[in-house]
């Protein structure tokens, strides 16, 4: 079996140092984390930036600075920016972020963009015009249905096919399981460029299962701070190394 593609999501929009001291917040911390994760076996980075107070940001300048530093430190690592609103930003701010950064790759929550149907087509048009690869964030089969509808109506442009299936959610005691992938695969059996992330201590079990079906993987502190025994990973690189080890054992 081909070596699976792994993206690390080291921080997300919501977690902070109080939840894990090794969670990277500053650009310098994110860049150092990316280098460690690349050495541990990560192929790509899902990038969130924070403002001076450590709050989730869509500031184009901060993104450009982070992308520049990452290109210097880990030139072989693919980087995807997030446009996640996280309850803080409207669709206009998400569009401004995309056009202000013009990234090579971005994740876009289709349910967030659906908040403003005047701007939704402009989001996807901007990505097509500037060459930004899109990965649609899908939280449930309702999001899958919305994506299909938008494809049929031409809101989503040809070639904007990447998706990530999110197993579970931010919640106390969340334990995603490999079975949580099944509704997504049944609703979208024709997906060819798909990735999975999962919450809770069974994160890596979910990802290994997805690999057996041909999926790409996203792991890291955005989704889970702990391993299957409930003990915290030392850092994101330790999580990636543990996942690589589990994959090698499970796929051999």
On whether residue 93 sits in a domain, the answer given is: yes
Question: Is the model more confident about 250 or about 107?
Answer: 107
Q: Would 1 be classed as within a structural domain?
A: no
- Whether residue 246 lies inside any domain: the answer is yes
pLDDT for the residue 164: 98
**Mean local confidence (pLDDT), 124-150:** 98
Which stretches within the chain are classed as H helix?
Answer: 27-40, 60-73, 91-101, 110-113, 120-130, 141-153, 182-187, 203-212, 236-251
CATH number at residue 98: 3.20.20.70
Range 111-124 average pLDDT: 98
User: CA–CA distance from 66 to each of 2, 39, 48, 154 (Å)?
Assistant: 31, 19, 9, 33
The pLDDT of residue 169: 80
Compute φ and ψ for 197, nearest 5 degrees. Answer: -130, 155
pLDDT at residue 229 is higher than 60: yes
Mean residue pLDDT across the chain? 95
Query: Which structural domain range is residue 53 located in?
Result: 6-251
1 pLDDT higher than 70: no
Reported confidence tier of residue 158, pLDDT bands at 50, 70, 90: very high
- Whether the Cβ atoms of residue 133 and residue 161 lie closer than 8 Å to each other: no
Mean per-residue pLDDT, 201-230: 96
Tally of structural domains, the chain: 1
- 3 pLDDT band, cuts 50/70/90, is confident
Any domain includes 10: yes
Predicted confidence band of residue 71 (pLDDT cuts 50, 70, 90): very high
- Let me know if residue 15 belongs to a domain: yes
Q: Model's pTM, two decimal places?
A: 0.96
Residue 106, pLDDT above cutoff 80: yes
What dihedral angle (degrees, nearest 10) is formed by the CA atoms of 132, 207, 246, 239? 60
Averaged over 30-52, what is the pLDDT?
Answer: 98
The first and second tokens of residue 15, run together, are 């977690």
């Amino acid at each position: 079996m081909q070596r699976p593609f792994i993206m690390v999501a080291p921080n997300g929009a919501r977690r902070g140092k109080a939840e894990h001291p090794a969670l990277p917040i500053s650009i310098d911390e994110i860049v150092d984390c990316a280098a460690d994760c690349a050495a541990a076996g990560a192929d790509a980075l899902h990038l969130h930036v924070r403002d001076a107070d450590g709050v989730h940001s869509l500031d184009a300048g901060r993104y450009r600075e982070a992308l520049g530093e990452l290109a210097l430190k880990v030139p072989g690592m693919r980087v995807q920016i997030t446009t996640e609103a996280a309850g803080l930003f409207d669709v206009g701010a998400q569009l401004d972020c995309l056009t202000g950064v013009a990234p090579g790759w971005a994740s876009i929550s289709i349910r967030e963009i659906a908040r403003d149907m005047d701007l939704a087509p402009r989001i996807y048009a901007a990505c097509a015009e500037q060459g930004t690869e899109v990965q649609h964030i899908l939280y449930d089969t309702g999001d899958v249905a919305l994506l299909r509808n938008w494809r049929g109506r031409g809101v989503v442009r040809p070639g904007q096919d990447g998706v990530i299936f999110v197993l579970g959610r931010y919640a106390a005691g969340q334990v995603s399981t490999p079975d949580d992938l099944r509704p997504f695969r049944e609703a979208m059996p024709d997906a060819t460029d798909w990735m999975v992330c999962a919450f809770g201590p069974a994160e890596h079990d979910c990802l290994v299962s997805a690999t057996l079906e041909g999926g790409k993987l996203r792991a890291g502190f955005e989704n889970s701070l702990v391993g299957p025994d409930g003990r915290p990973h030392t850092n994101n690189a330790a999580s990636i190394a543990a996942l690589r080890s589990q994959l090698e054992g499970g796929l051999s």
